[in-house]
Structure formats: structure tokens, C-alpha cells
Amino acid sequence: MPDIACVDLFCGAGGLTHGLIAKGIEVVAGIDVDETCRHPFEFNNAARFINEDVGRLTPKRLNDLFGSAEVRILAGCAPCQPFSTYAQRYDVVGSPRWGLLYQFGRLVESTLPDLVTMENVPSVAKHAVFDDFVETLEKKGYHVHRSIVDCSLYGLPQSRRRMVLLASKLGPIQLVAPTHDRPRTVREVIGDVAPILQGGVHPRDPLHTASGLSELNLERIRASHPGGTWRDWPKHLVADCHRREAGRTYPGVYGRMVWDEPGPTLTTQFYGYGNGRFGHPEQDRAISLREGAILQGFPKSYSFIPKGAPVHFKVLGRLIGNAVPVTLGEVIGQSITTHLRTQTGRTKRKQYGGHLCR
């Protein structure tokens, strides 16, 4: 393998970086405007974190980070909320945050890394900004591969679909084939996590903590069964908003996960029982912050806050829910390393007249 340097834009807590490193790609730096990402990114990945707005990042600064590496990789996931299906119902003109993808394109044009990868929600492909990004890559001579990925086919225990783009100046590139014949289940990944109560915390892992429930919600979760909905409850437990016609179309809230199925797509509010199908399959509580991180592919030992620091559900829910799943990072990393080995082999065969030197 050649000498590689990767810079991770919009790096967050380090999910993409952790997956890339696991597949042999050296990530030299991660850049994010959110300072709370510093500890999880640096502590778990031994890579430099730069607290900076990508829109202000200069080409010279980026080239300095790449250094003299033989292969330079620019990776990143611009914030996906502006491109989500939910946001599109209310934002038809364009969010200012769409410009972050243009900033990504600006840095590609000005530094011309050997490979580029990005990940986002599938609906990003419906927007002109994405078409412009792809057009920029193609005009600069990149071979571009893009596909909608069912992450459960690669071992992520979630029903999560994402748009993955890979681009290379070295030759055609594509995502590796699915690695799993069947999805991994909730039971397989969090079935052995120690039980805790709602509002409780495990004595040896402060991240294994569950939000508290009101008396009403405690009664609701006790009336819920895995895979069921609030429609199964006694009438006195049903929320007023769900009694109205408009609310009847949202059965996916206040639900429990199913042990022997993959979990739902995690959001930044997965720690709240009423925010989706985030109830524990068996215990009367929402899943804990640690369980959410595990469902996102993070190792059970991944540190999100310094030792002794307070646990803030909203902050950590955002870091975990917004992260590129580590499992998907590994898939992207494997695709890149496979591509580099293929291209290196072709270069050698061409150099030695079709015969590898032995």
C-alpha cells in the first residue's frame, strides 16, 4: 500500500475516521465546527482535531495537512439535516447549510486529492447542490461512483439507508459488495449489555445511562410490546395529538425495538422513548446512550466524554446520532484500500510490460 493521508471534513465524533483507520487508512486530521467532538475524535483515533469552520478552511492549510503523502484522500459528510425528507417539506428554497457541500467542492477543486468520499442521506441526490458536486468531480477528471447503501447488508444492526459517493483520479472505483446475507439484530449487539432502570446509570460506564420517564410514559412503555405501536394501548394512554386525524399517521413513535430484527435508523434524539421506536425490547426504558452508540457501530469502549465529565443527553445524542456509522466507515475504507491495491497492481504491470516483477 502507498503512503496515505486522509483528512475528514465535518468529522463529528469520529465514526467515519474510526472505520477508515480500522481498514488501514491513516487519518491525519478531522475538522469540525463543534468543539465537543474534540475528545471522542482525538482520544479514540490518535488523530488531530481542528475546531474550524470548513467554509474558512484554505487550500494551503489543507495541503499542509496532507503533507508529502503519495495518496491524498478527502473525506466527509456535510450535515445531512437540510437534505432529509422531513426538512424538504418545509425548505423548498434552500438552506444556508446546503452551502457546506459547495465548500466541500471548493476544496476538492483547489487541492485535487487523489480520492474523495462523502456520505449523506439518500435524498441529497434530489438537490442541485449534489448534482453540482458530482459535476465538479467529473470535470476535474475523477471517476465517480455513487450508490444508495442499505447499511444492514454490511453488518450495521440498523435499518439505515445512506448515499455513498466514491471518486478517484486513479481509475474506476466502486463500493465493495455486501458482506452479510442477513442483517445483524438488536439482540446480537446489545443483548448482553447490563440491565439498568429508566433514569439509571451503570456504575462502571457513565454512558450506559437511560433518560427518566414520567409516570405516564412508564405506564405507556409497560403497555407496549416489541414491534407494536401506541394503537395497541388502552385509550386513556393515547396522546391527544394521536387521537386527531393528522396524528394517526405517525405510529412509529413510543415504540419498542424488536430483539431479533435490526434497530430503526437512529436519530439525534434516540435516547427519548417518545421520539421513535427507541424503547428497549424488554426493559421499561428507552435505549441508553451506550446502546445507541453500539447500534451505530462504535466499540463498547469508545469514549465520548473525558473521565468525570457530566453526561448531557442532548449533546451526546447529537454526537452519536449524527455520526457516520463506524461500520459504514469500514466499508468505505475497505473499498478504498481494495481500489488502491488494484490500481497499484495495474501500474506495476504497465511498468514491467504486463509482468509483475518477482
Catalytic positions, written as ranges? 80
Instruction: Report the C-alpha gap between 358 and 344 in whole angstroms.
Output: 15
Here the cell at position 21 is 483507520
Instruction: Report the C-alpha gap between 137 and 133 in whole angstroms.
Output: 6
**Cα atoms in the 13 Å half-sphere on the side-chain side of 16:** 30
Instruction: Report the C-alpha gap between 56 and 38 in whole angstroms.
Output: 19
Instruction: Report the C-alpha gap between 114 and 302 in whole angstroms.
Output: 30
Listing DSSP states for 131-150 in one string gives: HHHHHHHHHTT-EEEEEEEE
Listing DSSP states for 89-139 in one string gives: TT-SS--GGGHHHHHHHHHHHHH--SEEEEEE-GGGGGSHHHHHHHHHHHH
Here the cell at position 122 is 439518500
Instruction: Report the C-alpha gap between 147 and 140 in whole angstroms.
Output: 20
Dihedral over Cα of 267, 185, 289, 10: its sign: negative
- Backbone angles phi and psi of 122, in degrees to 5: -55, -35
